[in-house]
Structure 1
Amino acid sequence: MVSRLVLILGDQLSPGVSALQAADKSSDLVVMAEVMDEASYVRHHPKKIAFLFAAMRKFARVLEADGWRVAYTRLDDPENAQSIPAELLRRAEAEGAQEVLATEPGEWRLIEALSDLPIPVHQHPDDRFICSHAEFDRWAEGRKSLRMEYFYREMRRKTGLLMDGDEPAGGKWNFDHDNRKPAQDDLFRQGPLKFDPDETVEEVLTLVEQRFPDNFGALRPFWFATDADQAERAFEHFMEHALPCFGDYQDAMLEGDRFLCHAVIAPYLNAGLLDPLDICRRAEAAYRSGHAPLNAVEGFIRQIIGWREYVRGIYFREGPDYPRRNALNHQRKLPALYWGAETRMNCLAHAVAQTRDDAYAHHIQRLMVTGNFALLAGISPTELHEWYLSVYADAYEWVEAPNTVGMSQFADGGIIASKPYVSSGNYISKMSDYCRGCHYAVTKKTGDGACPFNLLYWYFLNRHRDRFQGNPRMAQMYRTWDRMDAKKREVILAEADAFLDRMSKGETV
């Protein structure tokens, strides 16, 4: 008989997680389970499933080596109850446990499911984050707008990162203006560190192939880190080879280089294999020692103590209905091209192919290619949210929903973004080489072969004029639209309508 069960979820693979801190090795039982409910509530990318199952198995062994008793259930165990609540009840009955210790999950559905169990579940705060829910709420209370930039400054002051006394290093809080350079091919750019599957990983890959054969995405080749030591080596590799150029090319996109200078550590960070404050301090040390420039290090740190902490704060402050918001009333179904169907739009074809192959695309590919197109085309933000949650290895609802519903789709009505992130094809042409090999011409505004982003950009602005024409950041766009010849405006709207009609009918666009 044990005193209590200690639940460890697949994104809580940190030895210091709060549930373990509250537990007693001598009398409590750690419960970990690979369950179909978690593996299938959306159709996860097979690489994500394999990454988490392999990392969970390895973490269970780490806990056992540290003296914990661990009850681990594999997906194919015939006794598996196939949901987290049911597994807890099964283990509680078998062990005589009367209560559960848990670290608060990162999704409302699991928080509520644990709260509904017939035995007490004590959900401890997830203190791996820098900002608690209460602290975020105190910052947000009474503000007319909840802009990330001002929250980020508070996190800089709290942590002391990149601070010279009371002032930000370099005299500015934000060097984003310096981080918008297009990239060129570079044969010496190394990309992320990749790992050959070991015996544990191979066993999981075989299981995923058998159980999830039809999920979107390529399972092999599989090269993710699956334990803390490998994740540490992956981060060190980024620090040495890519951090110095991370800032300059943070927004760039190249057909022949899917990773550029990006860290590709978000899956490890969000699963608990890396500590956010630790890696930020080490990045700061790289700046202080002269290894990496300030614009690169500030941009990297802002993604973690800025965006990552901010979107978590928004998710929990806004409540369980947040992922289903649809302020612009966009209802169009997600087109098949997001699941790999043929498209003549080269930027979307490459972003989706990369997503299929690697369970990864960087933030500009998500925001300004797949997200921008969905917003311009009026696609349901709920369907797009479920797609992002499905296809990326780093996606958990607390981080993904605000980025999609709020930042990308303006579906929260402007809580996160002060204006919708929409652009014509010109932005993609400026920041990538995608337009060179495209069926459509980015310089054509109308007519045969005109870039769909050009047509849909004006279509979107016209459709939502009542909402956005008073936005100071969009006034120039509406003045440009109004100066156009009336006949040209009619052609743009008609051609955009025709494009969307063909797409909705399942034709190749």
Structure 2
Amino acid sequence: MKLRLILGDQLSHNISSLDDIAADDVILMAEVRSEATYVKHHKKKIAFLFSAMRHFAKELEGAGHRVIYVPYDAPENAGSLLSEVTRLCARYNPDEIIVTSPGEYRLLAEMQGWSDQLGRPVEIREDRRFLATPKEFANWANGRKQLRMEYFFREMRKRFNVLMEADGPTGSQWNFDADNRKPPATGLDVPQTYVKDPDQITQDVLGLVAREFADHFGDLDPFHYAVTRGEAEAALRKFVAERLTHFGDYQDAMIEGEAWMFHSHIALYLNCGLLEPLECIALAEEAYRKGKVPLNAAEGFIRQILGWREYVRGLYWLRMPGYVDENFLDAQRALPPLYWTAQTQMNCMRQAVLETKANAYAHHIQRLMVLGNFALLAGVHPDEVNEWYLLVYADAYEWVELPNVSGMVLFADGGVLASKPYAASGAYIKKMSNYCDGCSYQVSKKNGPKACPFNYLYWDFISRNDAKLRGNPRMGFVFKTLDRMSDEKRTAIQEDSTRFLKALDAHEKV
């Protein structure tokens, strides 16, 4: 008899740990304290995963498997994965433990020592829900001076024959990102996102989370996420049918009160196993082939899955364990309280934090160019920013969060992922949103108490990182502009930034 462990982000009937399962094998699933609290995850994230786990366990039982499911508040719950495996080893005396490789380095490192601790074999199988193994990515990366996602994506397109023709890429070009940067148009009609009322299992979980995780960040209600594969498939189909058409054009746009825009927000389903990447890719390509969505929308969506998602996972495993310690710009500031409270006069920051608090979700431009841009300009320490992103978003696991934050948001890896820092002034936020309309600051002002803080913080960031960034070939124009600034302008930037950051550090409402 074998004991097969299913983790909370492995909720797929095709998971490798279930291969060759025998009738007398036992499947273990457990809601353990160590995983729920190693960072204080958003209440809605915990509720989503616990409910999805319970529904998945029920499906496994319905398929005739022997499942031992340990709820969080079960008296016998020992609080960690190893403790639960140890307890079941004593109960069943399995010949072997089988588990699919976890998505986080810390957990894999722990599991690699389990065999000695448990006194029996532990087989850690490849997670084939991803389309490139860590070894395949490492082979692609070997010998390259720059690891750019675009070139990795092209190889993946060819390998899986996605949006390809006999003579090259569909549409005769690889990337339509230039078509996907439209600012929000007046009167945009954004279709309602997928909504599912909680069933009894989910209601029980919501009660548990309210009791046990009351001090965690985030709103628990309303809860309307999919928690089964069938529901996740319905959410995917609804996106493709109703919102994919405009996803390409407006994927960078932000509108106050429109948390979902035309995004799919299926990453939480993909990353826990309710959906698999190729089915999402195939559905989007089919919609394009049938003339239902434009090419820039289909390509942009597919690039997020076949390109970016696979790329950041490969980079994570390639660079760990040292990647977690990267701090190229020597950022040292503590994370400001406004990331928890939304108490700020900057309307863009307030909207992004409030939507994160409400939904355990914000779309990628809110994460990168508002929340992340501010952390970059303010010089917040990567450890604190990484922990925040990891715990607040329902789709966040270290393999996807760390490269996005340390690599793309903070440039903490010095350019391994991004060719230059994604730093921007208030002009970008003004162009891509309507947030500035309701702001206490004036985005048209460059200096002074009423000026948009992003404006002077941007140049302060460039100035204080001159030694590390001036040699970047993509920043030549920026430094030429800085060099042409008058002494008076430079002094105003420094004074405004010093005043603002001093107030930020004093936890004043800035």
Q: How does the TM-score come out when normalised to structure 1? A: 0.98
Please name the residue that 1:31 is paired with.
28
Shift of 1:188: 3.9
**Residue 497 (1) aligns with residue 498 (2):** yes
Structure 2 CA distance for aligned equivalents of residues 77 and 183 of structure 1: 49
Structure 2 CA distance for aligned equivalents of residues 356 and 472 of structure 1: 38
Contact conserved, 1:314 with 1:402, CA < 8 A, in 2? yes
Residues 108-145 of structure 1, C-alpha deviation per residue, up to 9 Å, x if partnerless? Answer: 11111111221332110101111011110110000001
How many matched pairs? 506
Shift of 1:24: 2.1
Contact conserved, 1:405 with 1:411, CA < 8 A, in 2? yes
Please name the residue that 2:8 is paired with.
10
Structure 1 CA distance for aligned equivalents of residues 481 and 142 of structure 2: 38
% identical aligned pairs: 53
Shift of 1:79: 0.2
Bigger mean CA deviation after superposition, 426-435 or 318-327: 318-327
Bigger mean CA deviation after superposition, 350-359 or 440-449: 440-449
Structure 1 CA distance for aligned equivalents of residues 394 and 151 of structure 2: 29
Unaligned runs of 5+ in 1: none
Bigger mean CA deviation after superposition, 80-89 or 24-33: 24-33
Contact conserved, 1:25 with 1:69, CA < 8 A, in 2? no
Contact conserved, 1:185 with 1:254, CA < 8 A, in 2? no
**Residue 111 (1) aligns with residue 108 (2):** yes
Equivalent position to 2:84, from 84, 87, 94: 87
Q: Secondary structure at the match of 2:99?
A: strand
**Residue 43 (1) aligns with residue 44 (2):** no
**Residue 199 (1) aligns with residue 200 (2):** yes
Contact conserved, 1:185 with 1:257, CA < 8 A, in 2? no
Contact conserved, 1:25 with 1:67, CA < 8 A, in 2? no
Contact conserved, 1:191 with 1:261, CA < 8 A, in 2? no
**Residue 62 (1) aligns with residue 59 (2):** yes
**Residue 265 (1) aligns with residue 245 (2):** no
Structure 1 CA distance for aligned equivalents of residues 167 and 305 of structure 2: 21
Residues 222-252 of structure 1, C-alpha deviation per residue, up to 9 Å, x if partnerless? Answer: 0000000000110110011001110000000
Structure 2 CA distance for aligned equivalents of residues 296 and 32 of structure 1: 38
Residues 287-324 of structure 1, C-alpha deviation per residue, up to 9 Å, x if partnerless? Answer: 00000000000000000000000000000011123123
Structure 2 CA distance for aligned equivalents of residues 45 and 469 of structure 1: 39
Measured on the aligned residues, the alpha-carbon RMSD in Å equals: 1.0
Contact conserved, 2:342 with 2:349, CA < 8 A, in 1? no
Change (3 A) 1:477 1:268: same
Matches within 5 A, 1:392-431: 392-431=393-432
Q: Secondary structure at the match of 2:249?
A: coil
Q: Secondary structure at the match of 1:248?
A: helix
Bigger mean CA deviation after superposition, 84-93 or 348-357: 84-93
Q: Secondary structure at the match of 2:234?
A: helix
Structure 2 CA distance for aligned equivalents of residues 401 and 92 of structure 1: 34
Q: How does the TM-score come out when normalised to structure 2? A: 0.98
Please name the residue that 1:126 is paired with.
127
Q: Secondary structure at the match of 1:31?
A: strand
Shift of 1:185: 5.3
Residue type at the aligned position of 1:26: A
Unaligned runs of 5+ in 2: none
Shift of 1:25: 2.7
Contact conserved, 1:30 with 1:71, CA < 8 A, in 2? yes
Shift of 1:15: 0.3
Contact conserved, 2:342 with 2:353, CA < 8 A, in 1? no
Bigger mean CA deviation after superposition, 327-336 or 485-494: 485-494
Shift of 1:256: 2.2
Equivalent position to 1:102, from 99, 103, 120: 99
Shift of 1:498: 1.4
Please name the residue that 1:472 is paired with.
473
Residue type at the aligned position of 1:158: R
